[in-house]
Structure 1
Amino acid sequence: MSENFTKMLEFMSLVGHLKHVRRTGWVQKKVAVGGGPESVADHMYRMAVLSFLVDPGAGLDKHRCMKIALVHDMAECIVGDITPQDGISKENKHQKEKEYEDQSSKEAEFIKDIDRFEMILQAFEYEQMDMKPRYLQDFFDSTKGKFKTEQVKAWVQSLEATRNTTPNM
């Protein structure tokens, strides 16, 4: 077996851990529907799919967006899923996670919005599956005023309108 293959296997094993790292916010809320809380890998996958939907007129590199989405939480296979409630400073979290937190490009800014949007979309789905209207409102509240890109702002507005008109919501 070549050294390159061994390193690749080691890396893929680390990345594979993301399939088993449950998103901490859902675990803390005791989400149990659909086989339990989504994993970090589930979250990253849907973010990558959402990045396919980037508005062609936005001037963003779609492939770069997909790449950022796929790697933005990769460090969590080592450090775990860190939330604001974990008592870790922003500086320490930044060191443990990814450069995309700097929002140093339009693509990184878009993916940060996708990250937040995917979270509230997941919250909406859990509320529907659990038939518990608004029990995950704090996830929505935590994103208020934080979206920067017009495309994702429009998605958020549409999701909120859907949430407000959905039976049992």
Structure 2
Amino acid sequence: MHILEFVRTAFSLKSTLRSGWVLSDIPHPETVAEHSFGVAALCLLWPDIKGLNKDKMLKMAILHEICEVITGDIVFENGIYVNNERNVEKVSKEHEAIETLFSKLDNETLKQLVLEFLEQKSPESRFVKGVDKIEMLIQTMIYEKKAPPGVLDQFWLNSEKYLKERGMEEYYNCLLQARNNSEFKCKHNQINVFKDILKLKNVQKSAWRLKDVRNPESIASHSFGISLLSLVVPLPNNINREKLVRMAIVHEIGKLLSGDSICETGRFINQQKCKLKVESEICSLQQILPEPMYKKCGSLSAEYLQQKTIIAKYLKQLDRLEVVIQSLFYEKFCNSELCDEFWNNANMHIKDKTLRKYFEYLLNQRNRRS
């Protein structure tokens, strides 16, 4: 079960806070998992660029901070100032972490993608790094509403050089102008959409909140988890991994406006409530995304919600597997009986042979622990 070991290790990014915000005394800062979701979502929604492989960039975006599972979020820059000694230490630790992590996964392709991002030599890796900085600047503007003036200036100074080097200075200038107007509106509408999508970091998963779980994960954190699973699990022959990854990234963005409503409790399903939930989320998608983005990405989320295609039904099983993996973590801190319905739900719906094997392994671990 090396894949599950890798995934459960990577899930610690859901509780790893971004060091830059912590050191700046930002209250309740985002996690590394939420940031990784943000970068992946922005890469997906970004207009296609000739010569760049988008599916490669999506995988890279999901995994680009995976080393921090072992190294933590090492800060070696402060604005334009670089601590070279600390940077050398960071690079060394990251390469060691890659060897350790991927020895559990045995997936050379994904390992090389992470190395490619760290080396910053390919067009795709440089673009993802640019999007990483744009995502950080949007988050900076959100935090600046509550932070003392000037505290987060270093993030602007840091990002400017990266975006200029990557031919993305136009977006930096657009964000800088938006920073200086009270409405936080940018002339590039895609940036305004990105800002809305990142609000999923603040939408808690209702299933955990209703169980009184302390600090329940967000929709963004959960979406990172299912996106990671979609990258690493062996797939049936009739499932296209590239489409699965794209669908996983956007599968819950409709909850940005509709909220995370519950229509299932264990084996009991409120059909009418589920129907209204689907309609509400699809309506939200159409409001959030401009038509070109909806056709390319929002339609994938709608396909998932409607549960009529083989790939949508498979992703739903993957979603239930993700929930029980997360449940094992939360059960360390709460009464495990409160989470029984998630296990019953997964037990009833996970049919794929490989996913079933993973579920039974996790269930056995849970039973041994109790």
Which category of TM-score, normalised to the shorter sequence, fits these structures?
Answer: 0.7 to 0.9
Q: Confirm whether residue 76 of structure 1 aligns to residue 73 of structure 2.
A: no
Q: SS at 1:30's partner residue?
A: coil
Equivalence for 2:13: 18
Superposed displacement of residue 57, structure 1? 3.6
Q: Any stretches of 5+ residues in structure 1 without a counterpart?
A: 1-5
What is the TM-score normalised by the length of structure 1?
Answer: 0.83
Q: Which amino acid aligns with 1:92?
A: E
Equivalence for 2:2: 7
What is the TM-score normalised by the length of structure 2?
Answer: 0.40
1:146/1:131 CA distance change after superposition, 3 Å? closer
1:108/1:85 CA distance change after superposition, 3 Å? closer
- Indicate the RMSD between aligned Cα atoms, in angstroms: 2.2
Q: Could you give the per-residue CA deviations for residues 80-114 of structure 1, whole angstroms, max 9, x where no partner exists?
A: 00111696532331232352121121000001111
Equivalence for 2:120: 103
Alignment of 1:64-143 (within 5 A): 64-84=56-76, 89-97=86-94, 98-99=114-115, 100-128=117-145, 130=146, 132-143=148-159
Q: Confirm whether residue 156 of structure 1 aligns to residue 172 of structure 2.
A: yes
Q: Which amino acid aligns with 1:62?
A: K
Equivalence for 1:40: 32
Measure, in 2, the Cα distance between the counterparts of 1:25 and 1:56.
30
Superposed displacement of residue 149, structure 1? 3.2
Q: Which amino acid aligns with 1:143?
A: S
Q: How many matched pairs?
A: 158
Q: Is this contact kept in 2: 1:54–1:62, CA < 8 A? A: no
Q: Could you give the per-residue CA deviations for residues 44-98 of structure 1, whole angstroms, max 9, x where no partner exists?
A: 1000001113332442111111111111110101110011169653233123235
Q: Is this contact kept in 2: 1:54–1:60, CA < 8 A? A: no
Percent identity of the aligned residues? 30
Q: Could you give the per-residue CA deviations for residues 129-165 of structure 1, whole angstroms, max 9, x where no partner exists?
A: x164443111111222221333x43222211111112
Ranked by relative contact order (alpha carbons within 8 Å, sequence separation 6 or more), the top structure is 1
1:134/1:53 CA distance change after superposition, 3 Å? farther
Equivalence for 2:26: 31
Q: SS at 1:89's partner residue?
A: helix
Mark the structure with the bigger radius of gyration. Answer: 2
Q: Any stretches of 5+ residues in structure 2 without a counterpart?
A: 95-113, 185-370
